[in-house]
Chains A and B, each alone.
Chain A
């Protein structure tokens, strides 16, 4: 048990430098961008603002202080949930982030359901009939899913179902993100993820079928169906579901492109459009929040994976 606690501690401690790096990168981004921050912030539609106003803004925002003081002040605000204002809309960054995050989460959940519905049966079938026709199909599908550019797949689906067959709306959020608007982006986002889950399911199942308890179950004369479903599948499913259920990070990564393609008002879309409009506080906020979620989710995945499957060699390699 000591080793488990040791592992958890080491893994959690690792979070500290990573979170520090994230905060430094997010903070530095705005300072490393070309041009002066105050001038960028005060840049109106008619060109640069009056130098006196820029100077006043600089003092007001504390941009005349040394950089490490600025970092500490910024960190203090961030820890109190204040991410500043957007350059463009004067919205609170935190408010916009929260709204968009909800849209992203919704899309991610639906897409997760689709990935599981495709990946689990195919993965199990591929493992049961290893080397058969269906295994080859599954292998080709999973290789294709990984190699498929999701921005291309998105447009292919859009052209087929939205433009040619006119069955579904091509893009947008619709009435608060209804199901019709969600189908295509969710499928697009699910493609790569289900390919990954399928491989995981297949390998887990193959491993489970080779275990002694499966052999014992067969030896006591259980029907093959019971052996496969009650003994092998149940055990193989645990790690796959743990990873799948918590693999939000993977979907967040994909959402940047998919949300842009389908004009889905999520956090990935917000990030990209803020980069276009040079809305740096918004970019900073998006990067900070997405990175934090990603890192935390990864930590939870690692820990729960280890807890579910004690055979993982914790302590040896983290």
Chain B
């Protein structure tokens, strides 16, 4: 329980994230109303006993929509980061392990992607190839994978020269075996750290694109799009804007803070001040 005393923030973050996961999984049981069912007789109702967070312009219950929104945001964050980590991680592993020409080619591609402004890439893909869940995932993976590749490569370079790698190679182990059994386990903890922070930023991006109308499409409940829905009603029903934004904020904050804390725990050498 030393963890608890040294990092009280992490315990709180963990609790918040577990709570969000709980909401996402059991949304169907927790949400009081159907999140997609319009009820025009009760449109734009202020928060009250029937609707704790109020209703939107189509009379849909905002609390239910916020709860269901957890599902899509967490799904996007986890899927995009997992796919990016696998693609970027493999690239970084191969690049760092083999070095030479392979490294040069892969890293120049990574550099080009890192240098390209992410917002534009995501906007371009989402905006011109059409919107929707799959295109949103694609746009975000295209933006995310390169930073994973860069990080994993740097870690692999450090591990590659260590004695246990040489020993394993000397014993006749093949490249694939050494990479998977010896190199990978040594780069996994920094990978976990940036994956955690990455989930936060992916959720923020996804919500931003959906807010612009270029991500998740209605009637699916999604926090970013709910804010887009509310923008016409800031004079008459400003409360619509409050809760979806708050949920994005809390979720992203929890993942970022978690990433920061994990870095302290997993990698005491890392000087977190310098980043």
Chain A neighbourhood of B132, CB < 8 A = none
A53 at the interface (CB under 8 A from B): no
Size category, B interface: 35 or more
Within B204-253, which residues are at the interface with A (CB < 8 Å)?
Answer: 204, 207-208, 211-214, 224, 227, 230-231, 234-235, 238, 241, 244-246, 248-249, 252-253
Q: A170 — nearest CB in chain B belongs to which residue? A: B234
13 contacts between A and B (CB under 8 A): A14-B108, A25-B116, A33-B128, A144-B249, A151-B224, A152-B248, A156-B241, A159-B238, A163-B234, A203-B273, A203-B275, A275-B127, A283-B124
Chain B neighbourhood of A144, CB < 8 A = 249, 253
A291/B252 contact (C-beta < 8 A), A159-B238, A275-B214 known: no
Q: Are B252 and A149 in contact (CB under 8 A)?
A: yes
Q: B115 — nearest CB in chain A belongs to which residue? A: A18
Chain A neighbourhood of B98, CB < 8 A = none
Q: Are B227 and A155 in contact (CB under 8 A)?
A: yes
Q: Give the Cβ gap from B52 to chain A, nearest Cβ, in Å.
A: 20
Chain A neighbourhood of B121, CB < 8 A = 25
Q: Are A275 and B128 in contact (CB under 8 A)?
A: yes
Chain B residues touching A, majority SS: helix
Q: Which residues of A contact B (CB under 8 A)?
A: 14, 17-18, 21-22, 25, 29, 32-34, 143-144, 146-152, 155-156, 158-159, 163-164, 170, 199, 202-203, 206-207, 249, 252-253, 256-257, 260-261, 271-272, 275-276, 280, 283, 287, 290-291, 294-295, 298, 317
A287/B124 contact (C-beta < 8 A), A17-B108, A17-B112, A25-B116 known: yes
Q: Are B123 and A146 in contact (CB under 8 A)?
A: no
Q: Apart from A18-B111, A149-B227, A152-B248, list 18 A-B contacts with CB within 8 A.
A: A18-B116, A25-B121, A25-B124, A29-B124, A34-B129, A143-B256, A147-B256, A151-B245, A155-B234, A156-B245, A163-B234, A202-B273, A253-B117, A253-B119, A256-B119, A257-B212, A261-B231, A283-B127
Chain A neighbourhood of B235, CB < 8 A = 163
B134 at the interface (CB under 8 A from A): no
Contact with A along B10-30 (1 / 0, CB 8 A): 000000000000000000000
Q: A22 — nearest CB in chain B belongs to which residue? A: B116
Q: Give the Cβ gap from A269 to chain B, nearest Cβ, in Å.
A: 11
Within B75-118, which residues are at the interface with A (CB < 8 Å)?
Answer: 108, 111-112, 115-118
- Which has the most chain A C-beta neighbours within 10 Å: B130, B200, B245? B245
Q: Are A149 and B128 in contact (CB under 8 A)?
A: no
B180 at the interface (CB under 8 A from A): no
A291/B241 contact (C-beta < 8 A), A34-B130, A163-B234 known: no
Cα–Cα, bound, A22→B121 (Å):
10
Cα–Cα, bound, A164→B236 (Å):
11
Cα–Cα, bound, A33→B115 (Å):
24
B171 at the interface (CB under 8 A from A): no
B257 at the interface (CB under 8 A from A): yes
Q: Give the Cβ gap from B14 to chain A, nearest Cβ, in Å.
A: 16
B274 at the interface (CB under 8 A from A): yes
Q: Are A291 and B117 in contact (CB under 8 A)?
A: yes
Q: A202 — nearest CB in chain B belongs to which residue? A: B273
Q: Are B112 and A21 in contact (CB under 8 A)?
A: yes
- Closest 8 A/B residue pairs (Cβ): A152-B245, A275-B127, A147-B253, A147-B252, A203-B273, A294-B117, A18-B115, A159-B238
Chain A neighbourhood of B244, CB < 8 A = 152
Chain B neighbourhood of A290, CB < 8 A = 117, 120
Cα–Cα, bound, A156→B274 (Å):
32
Q: Give the Cβ gap from A267 to chain B, nearest Cβ, in Å.
A: 11
Partner of A32, one of B129, B230, B253: B129
Chain A neighbourhood of B154, CB < 8 A = 317
Q: Give the Cβ gap from B53 to chain A, nearest Cβ, in Å.
A: 15
Q: B211 — nearest CB in chain A belongs to which residue? A: A151
Q: Are A14 and B111 in contact (CB under 8 A)?
A: yes
Q: Give the Cβ gap from B176 to chain A, nearest Cβ, in Å.
A: 27
Q: Are B253 and A143 in contact (CB under 8 A)?
A: yes
Cα–Cα, bound, A49→B153 (Å):
53
Chain A neighbourhood of B224, CB < 8 A = 149, 151
Q: Are A149 and B119 in contact (CB under 8 A)?
A: no
Q: A159 — nearest CB in chain B belongs to which residue? A: B238
Partner of A295, one of B116, B123, B214, B256: B116
Chain B neighbourhood of A22, CB < 8 A = 116
Partner of B245, one of A18, A32, A155, A199: A155
Cα–Cα, bound, A257→B208 (Å):
7
Chain B neighbourhood of A156, CB < 8 A = 241, 245
Chain A neighbourhood of B248, CB < 8 A = 149, 152
Cα–Cα, bound, A58→B214 (Å):
29
A298/B115 contact (C-beta < 8 A), A144-B253, A155-B234, A257-B208 known: yes
Q: Are A146 and B256 in contact (CB under 8 A)?
A: yes
Contact with A along B32-67 (1 / 0, CB 8 A): 000000000000000000000000000000000000
Q: Are A283 and B128 in contact (CB under 8 A)?
A: yes
A155/B231 contact (C-beta < 8 A), A272-B212, A283-B128 known: yes
Chain A neighbourhood of B230, CB < 8 A = 155
A149/B245 contact (C-beta < 8 A), A276-B213, A295-B116 known: yes
Q: B207 — nearest CB in chain A belongs to which residue? A: A149
